[in-house]
């Protein structure tokens, strides 16, 4: 157990839970992360992305909080 808060980790499911065409899971996860951060009023999030063909990337995304 990692001791992570389930309200902050993978709150909308991963690529399979979201449904996606081949090669689009990274774009889909990045967009959902951006939208979720905006819904929560801004902040920083991390996404693990599959680039297809065995590639793996990580994305750190920051959405500014409204002034």
- Structure confidence by residue, pLDDT tens digits, 29-63: 889 899 999 999 999 999 988 766 777 889 999 99
Residues 52/23, Cβ–Cβ less than 8 Å: yes
**Reported confidence tier of residue 28, pLDDT bands at 50, 70, 90:** confident
The end-to-end CA distance of the chain, in Å, is: 37
CA distance 20 to 36: 18
Query: 0.85 cut: is pTM over it?
Result: no
């Amino acid at each position: 157990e990692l001791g992570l808060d389930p309200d902050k980790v993978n709150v909308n499911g991963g690529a399979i839970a979201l449904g996606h065409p081949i090669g689009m899971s990274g774009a889909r996860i990045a967009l959902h992360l951006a939208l979720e951060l905006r819904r929560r009023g801004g902040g920083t999030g991390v996404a693990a992305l599959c680039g297809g063909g065995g590639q793996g990337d990580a994305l750190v995304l920051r959405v500014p909080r409204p002034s």
